[in-house]
Amino acid sequence: MKEVLIATNNKGKRKDFEALFHPLGINVLTLQDVEKTIDVEETGATFEENAILKAETVANLLGKTVIADDSGLEIDALNGAPGVYSARYAGIECDDEKNIDKALEELRGVPSDKRTARFRCVLAVAGPKMETTVFSGSCEGLITEERKGTNGFGYDPVFYVPSKDRTMAELTAEEKSKISHRGAALKKLQAELSTMIQKVGEQIEDNCTE
């Protein structure tokens, strides 16, 4: 089984990537599987800037091809917030629950048809002697007034998907991978996926814990 290194320490994102890559026979590694401690400060103003920053920084540090993603929630009634600050919306030390609480509080009194939102994901593939490539995807939905479901992570419990008549947190991992923003980004990578995965596997194999 080949392996792919995803530049993240997020366990929820790892599960999402595993759901997407395992059917292709690809084992997912994250920065938690690398002996070096790598923490890339996300200073970009957009998802694109942050994804490229993470991918290129980790690729340069490890000398390997790396896939990095930056993703988050955009709520129209909040002028696109939390956006790139999705993971730290309620503060740097806050968690998913507090982030959700803040979003729901700021949406208090906003009618359901005005609670439109989308998850956005940008994937950046970077490595030695290769031009960084970017793929993006999104998933449209509505923000509910209360949490529903126990699957997923982040804002999934309050992100309602009309086509499924359920929140993201009520979907199975397989169902989510088919309609998620991350899945959409990977579908755009589809035409080049086999070639890129081969390169990733060749460069990371037997070197993932250097």
**57 labeled part of a ligand binding site:** no
**199 labeled part of a ligand binding site:** no
**85 labeled part of a ligand binding site:** no
**113 labeled part of a ligand binding site:** no
Residues 6+ apart with CB under 8 A from 13: 6, 30, 69, 71, 153, 182
**147 labeled part of a ligand binding site:** no
Catalytic one among 16, 39, 69, 70? Answer: 70
94: three-class secondary structure by DSSP: coil
Distance of CA 87 to the CA centre of its chain: 11
Q: Give 158: exposed, middle or buried? Use CB within 10 Å, 0-12, 13-18, 19+.
A: buried
**160 labeled part of a ligand binding site:** no
- 109: alpha, beta or left? (left if phi > 0; alpha if psi -120 to 50): left
**86 labeled part of a ligand binding site:** no
**64 labeled part of a ligand binding site:** no
22: three-class secondary structure by DSSP: helix
Is 70 annotated in the active site? Answer: yes
- Which structure tokens are listed for 24? 């292709």
Active-site residues, by number, are 70
Which residues does the annotation place in the binding site?
8-13, 41, 70-71, 153-156, 176, 181-182
Which residues does the annotation place in the binding site for substrate?
8-13, 71, 153-156, 176, 181-182
Which residues does the annotation place in the binding site for Mg(2+)?
41, 70
